[in-house]
Structures are given as C-alpha cells and as structure tokens.
Amino acid sequence: MSGRIRVTLLAGGVGGAKMAEGFAACDAVELSVIGNVADDAEFHGLWVSPDIDTMLYTLSGRINRDQGWGVADEGQRALDVLDELGADTWMFLGDKDFGLHIYRTDRMRHGHRPQDITRDIAERFGIAARVLLPTDDQVQTRVKTPDGWLGFQEYFVRQRCEPMVTDIVFEGIGDALPTTEALDALEQADLIVIAPSNPLVSIAPILSVGGIEEAIRAARAPVIAVSPLIAGRVVKGPADRMMRAMGMRADAVGVAQRYADLADALVIDHADEALVDEIDASGVQAICRDILMPDATAKERFANDLIAIYRQGLGDAAA
C-alpha cells in the first residue's frame, strides 16, 4: 500500500477544477476526478466537452488563469475563418482548444470509448490524477426558460445565463450506463468529495447516471460536500439564481438539503456559521472552514483542510 489517501472527487468545471487542483498539489493524496459530461455539445462537427476540458487544462497547467477556462496564450485564427465563412461562432473555441476537439472527435468516430480517449489525453498532458467520466454515453443538459428549452451552452454562453431557468432535464440519462472506472474509483475511495460545483447542472448529471448514487451509498468512504455558495452568493455563475428559481433555498442550507441523503458532512464558509444548526438539522454535519480558493495557495490549503477533517474523523471536526 502506498499509504496515500485515495480521494474521489465529483466535479464540474471551474469550481470543480479549483478543488481538483488543490488535491493534486497534496502529496498525501491519490486523486480520481469524476467529471461532468452533460455540458458537452457539438460545434462545427466537433465534440466539445467543456467541463472535462476545463479539468484537463487546469490539471495540466494549461488553463487560462484569468478566465478559469480555455487555454492560456490562445489564438483564434480558426474561429475567425469560421466567422468569415458565416458559421455561428458565439461559442469561443481557441486554436489550441480546436486541436483537442479534433483529436477527441476523430477517435470517437473510430469507435473509441470517451473514457479511454480522456485517459489518453490526461496521460499525454502529464496529468497524474485519473480523470474519469461518469458514463461513456451521451447525456445533454437542457434548460427550460420563458422562451422555451435551450441546450446548456446556448443558455450558458450564448445567452450568458440571463434567462430564468424553470426546469432542467438531462437528455439521454435514462439509458446512460456508468463507467466501470467511475464505479471502481468510488468503491476504492478512502474519501469521497463533492466539489463546490453547481449542484443542479454540474453535480446532478453525474449523480443521475444509473448506479453512481448507489455506488456512493455502498462505498466505505465518508462523503464530504463543499458548498459552492458563500453568504448566499455564488463565487461565479448562475447556481444561486437557478436554485432559487427551482424552489430551493439559495444558500448553504439549500446545498445541504440537496445532498442530505448522500453526504455525511457539508463544509461551509465561516461567513455562514449562523447556518450550522439548520444544516445539522437537515441531517448533514456542518463544518466551517475558509472555503474560498482564489489562488494556488488557497486551493492547496483548503484541500489539506479536508484531508485533516478526514484524518480527524468527521464527528470531531464539527463546526
């Protein structure tokens, strides 16, 4: 045995990748990340997987740090040509990024498993963590707005998350089978962490793949979730507005209620200390820490805080 702690992280894009980067910096951790494929969409004949790519770019140090997504030092000559030719170019795809999408799409057309393709990209990019897909099948988030149903990227990028979301579906979820890699990572984990990702459109599509929730419940590892909301607000993105529109409380209590039947503990910010009793009452143990991760130091420090909570035993780490 390596003696390292096997952490399996459920993660979306930007918030998920921050948490993953923190764990990847911990020598004591052997990291597996189960990412979100429901944001995937086809552009210009290429299969784009925004959350998985954010994870790959972050863990390989290629990410554009100012944006939190996309590749650093990126060009847009390919997109300019598409624009000149009259193609729809509202989804920004940089030149280097196009290379990844071409590679993925070509291998998919040859019948390769998306999980194998992702594993190979991670390996070539020098990523030590295992980047796993919850399913090899295609699942696509669609959101209902006052103007009708939209594909997730149409809502998120084209319409800048402006429309109110009144319903969410994951098309294809009923037929999606879990990957054995994801199930194994849950079974073998010492600690399962739900990243501070959007609960409704990043974490829910992972949990909705048949067999994933069951594997988490059957796992021997404790499950710790991290709140993406601090003082009732998101750090970035539409999670708070979405939660409110979907009839949930848009604060750490709402997150706790969402994960109540799955998580043992929810780590919230010190700013939300006043919510501890209400969270405990929802059946999830509240633990207060500094959960904002603005830079590499904070990410690593917070990942180490979670490891310390695990080592201490959840009950002893209470608020």
Question: What residue ranges bind ligand GDP (CB under 6 A)?
Answer: 11-16, 18, 51, 196-198, 202, 226-228, 234-237, 239, 291-293
> In the complex with ligand GDP, which residue's Cβ is closer, 135 or 198?
198
CB of 244 to ligand GDP, least distance (A): 13
By beta-carbon proximity to ligand GDP, the closer residue of 116 and 264 is: 264
d(CA 258, CA 37): 20
Nearer Cβ to ligand GDP, position 123 or 273? Answer: 273
Closest CA to 227 of 197, 189, 203, 250: 197
Structure tokens at 38: 């429901």
Residue with Cβ nearer ligand GDP (82 or 246): 246
Least distance between ligand GDP and beta carbon 36 (Å):
7
CB of 77 to ligand GDP, least distance (A): 25
Measured from the CB atom, the residue of 47 and 156 that comes closer to ligand GDP is 156
CB nearer to ligand GDP: pick between 211 and 254: 254
Q: Which residues contact 237 (CB under 8 A, 6 or more apart)?
A: 14, 15, 161, 198
Residue 15 Cβ, how far from ligand GDP at the closest point, in Å? 2
102-109: list long-range contacts, CB under 8 Å, 24+ apart: 102/46, 104/46, 104/47, 104/49, 105/45, 105/46, 105/47, 108/47
Find, among 51, 44, 55, 52, the residue nearest to 91 by Cα.
44
CB-CB neighbours of 21 under 10 Å: 21
With a CB cutoff of 8 Å and minimum separation 6, the contacts of 71 are: 57, 62, 63, 64, 94, 96, 97
Which residue lies nearer to ligand GDP by CB, 53 or 136? 53
* Helices and strands in the chain: count of H runs, count of E runs: 13, 14
Q: How far is the CB of 290 from ligand GDP (least distance, A)?
A: 9
Q: How far is the CB of 239 from ligand GDP (least distance, A)?
A: 4
**Distance in angstroms between the alpha carbons of the first and the last residue of the chain:** 32
Least spacing, CB of residue 168 vs ligand GDP, in Å:
13
CB 70 within 8 A of CB 94: yes
Closest residue to ligand GDP, judged by C-beta, is 15
Q: 3-class SS at 262? A: coil
